[in-house]
Amino acid sequence: MPEPPLLNELLSDQRNYYSADSLTKLGAGFLAGGIMANTSIDEGIQKHFRASVRGATSDDWFETLHANRELGNGRYTLPVFAVAWAGGRLMEGLPGAEPASEWGERSLRAVLVGAPPMLAMQLVTGASRPGETNAGSAWAPFQDNNGVSGHSFMGAIPFLCAAHTAENPLLKTLFYAGSTLAPLSRVNDDAHYSSQALLGWWMAWIAATAVDRTSRDSSGNWDFVPFPDPSISGLAIRWTW
């Protein structure tokens, strides 16, 4: 079966992201994050982190975690995804070109499907960063926009997409471990509470899983075809199953 056009895949990504199963998992994640944010759990984790990492006799752990913050900087990662996708297509047939292209495309699609709801939930939760307000990590809808960590979301995407395509169990485990580096860096830097970092990672996982489902699902694809009536110019949407 030929690979569906990119536009069809993007539509399928949206359908998978907003499926009942995906929304149920998304809700479960926000339930857990809400409990952490609106109780003493967030503050407790933050204090423990400061004592164990920042209070260590060596700065090695702190500096190592801090260095990973740029993994969540879209100004750097988005061009990398685009180059991997386009470069892999241009160098088709060369070793490593196909997996690099697939990884780049999946990462971009995960950002496209997951970033809008992530940005919306930042506002809906309305929480602030550590030290910004007296409310701490508590949710205050539409009062701020830090209830979900964008850096954690962006930093987890490339690793989660790589994990979904990896067949080697050890490699898959390493990629999943790598997906936590950006979230940990945000907690380490006191830039986000643990619930905010967790929710950023969770929304990235939901997005990457939706994209993976599209890539693996060979049935139920949207398709665009020329309108069957020759007297009318345009496209028709075809659904196959």
Please write the tens of the pLDDT for every residue from 114-125: 999 999 999 999
Residue 198 lies in a domain: yes
d(CA 69, CA 74): 11
Q: Which two tokens stand for residue 71?
A: 């993994």
- Domain-embedded: residue 229: no
236 found inside a domain: no
Answering whether pTM is above 0.85, one says: no
Domain boundaries, position 122: 6-216
The Cα-based distances of 171 to 59, 108, 163, 164 in angstroms read 29, 21, 7, 10
More confident residue, 150 or 64: 150
Counting residues of the chain whose pLDDT is more than 90, the rounded percentage is 54
75 falls within a domain = yes
The model's pLDDT over 36-89, given as tens digits with 9 standing for 90+, comes to 999 999 999 888 877 776 554 444 444 554 455 556 566 788 888 888 888 877
* Higher local confidence (pLDDT), 212 or 47: 212
Which DSSP symbol is given to 187? H
- Total structural domains in the chain? 1
Is 1 domain-assigned?
Answer: no
Give CA–CA dist 187/195, Å, rounded: 9
Strand pairing category for 221-226 and 235-240: antiparallel
Which of 100, 74, 46, 34 minimizes the C-alpha distance to 156? 74
Residue 227, domain member (yes or no): no
CA-to-CA distance for 85 and 62, rounded, in angstroms? 33
Q: Does 179 map to a domain?
A: yes
**142 is a domain residue:** yes
